[in-house]
Amino acid sequence: MFGAARSAGRFVPEGHEVRRVIAGTAAVVLAMAWVVVGLGQAEAAPGAVLPVAAFEAPRCPGETDLDPTDPTAHQGLDNLLSVSGARLDAYDAGAVVPLYDASGETTDAPLCGTRYVAGAGGTAGAVSQWMFCTSWADDLCGDVNEDGQATDSDGNPIDPMDSLASNPDLAGTDAERLIAYLIENGHTYEGSGAGYQFGGIAYANADESTNTRRALQVLVWCISDPTTIPDPNFTATCALNFPDGEQARLLALIPATPVADLSFDVSGGTVNVGETARFTMRTNVFDSPIMLTASPLGAFSVCSGDATITDSVLTVAPPADGSSDVLVELCVTATEAGPATVTATTSPPSVRRMSWNRSVASPQARPCQIYAAFADYPVTPTTSSADATFVAVPEPTPDPTPTSDPTPTSDPTPTSDPTPTPEPTPTDPPTPTPNPSANPSPTHSPSAVVSVLPLTPAKVAGVASAFGSRSRVTAPHPALAHTGADEGSMLLLAGASGLAGVVLVFASRLRRRGQR
């Protein structure tokens, strides 16, 4: 475990030898480098606008094994959150003030530090964040005496921190970027051997517990001091957590120059309202938030690419093939016409968000640590935007509703031809009684023979004059021909003729009887 022994500010895992280095004329100048999360930027931090009275600083995120406000749990200042005396002077000057360590004391790495930060909207105040050592062999310089004076591990007063352009031991290397990423994001953790298990935690981070931040301190040393710590368990732990290719993977997540370029590549730069507009983003920012804003557009969705959007925050997954950048296509639909601007903003962890701060001991033979500090006050983000114009589609003039064709008038039911009145079947005239004859009556021919009674010339002339021009009899014939003359007259004539015939027959029979 950490904090069990220290020599001239040097902290080693539990069980290591304790060596005290005595300061003298030939003393070795020692320094301890630290990374501070959320405190500072790449330039000298501005001081507080106005001095403030003594106050109690906020705690750093996460739990500690001991209470830093309990005077029985540590030496020196009773309340390690108190900012007063020399601490207050350093705070008013804009310096980071170390408060307590990972467990709630002042003997172990990492340390909690606080500083004045001007926030957005005119707000300002103390912000506390964890600081991680980046030089295992150097002095912690995190102690404080009863008067609030910061000291090294031997009790020597040290000056407030100065700001440096970079860590001279790490400048220009990938170590700065890797350490920055680890402190902000944490990393999976597996310890090897005694002193590196930390309660069996599986993830190292700054903001959870004493054990998780101690494990993260080990990972930081794996980057800053891979060959400095003479412990095979340390070497094995570093190998477990950073196998071949892992550091390269992390570097891909934190490009030196972050890019999030947006484009809207549509012919004419316009799209119809109600249609889907597609914006293409080329980025090398992976697993870090990219803020999307658009007006007057609605919610975005990912059309293509390995990325997710939650509450207008885009997160792009690192490419499996190790490419330095990827393309992501974003889709959005406009509900109103007019110009629209889409903006992507990102501030991934990078060296530009860190500053390096050193405390200098008095006398100068005992300088102390260097801190790499992250800025909590505004920094210049990476921003890209793309413009599009949405045009309203004129509503088409609706075609007139076709008038339904009138129901065709059904053809009138054809009137059936009137049933022709059948012509009356001509009635055969009664068969005339044959003239009496002395001889047997001859068999009559089928032809009808009309017997005409002998009439007096006067009568014949009268009948002829009455009917001659209208009546005609044709024989032989099975019946009297229909002459078209007046039927009543014809019947009268026929009846008279028949009666005459009957009389003649009757007279003829009487004559025959008389002759016998």
In terms of Cα–Cα distance, which of 117, 106, 43 is closest to 80? 106
The predicted pLDDT at position 338 comes to 78
pTM comes to: 0.60
Residue 277: its pLDDT value, please? 82
What is the per-residue DSSP string for 125-145?
EEEEEEEEES-TTS----EE-
Chain centre to alpha carbon of residue 305: 12
Q: What is the pLDDT of residue 438?
A: 47
Predicted confidence at residue 17, as pLDDT, reads: 36
**Distance from C-alpha of 262 to C-alpha of 386, rounded to nearest angstrom:** 6
**Contact predicate 479/427, CB 8 Å:** no
Smallest CA-to-CA distance from 156 within 143, 167, 166, 138 is with 143
Q: Is 294 exposed, middle or buried (0-12, 13-18, 19+ CB in 10 A)?
A: buried
Supply the Cα-derived Rg of the chain in whole angstroms.
Answer: 64
Cβ atoms of residues 359 and 332 within 8 Å:
no
Of the candidates 266, 257, 320, the residue with the CA atom closest to the CA atom of residue 284: 257
Pairwise CA distance, residues 334 & 270, whole Å: 11
Report pLDDT for 162. Answer: 75
Give 368: exposed, middle or buried? Use CB within 10 Å, 0-12, 13-18, 19+: buried
Beta bridge partners of 290: 314, 346
**Identity (one letter) of the amino acid at 397?**
T
pLDDT in the model for residue 429: 58
Residue 492 has a pLDDT of 56
Mean per-residue pLDDT pooled into runs of 10, the chain (516 residues): 42 39 30 46 46 90 96 92 92 90 92 80 79 84 87 84 77 87 92 95 96 96 93 97 93 78 71 81 87 75 90 88 85 78 73 65 60 58 75 69 64 59 59 52 43 42 41 43 49 62 65 59
pLDDT of residue 355: 66
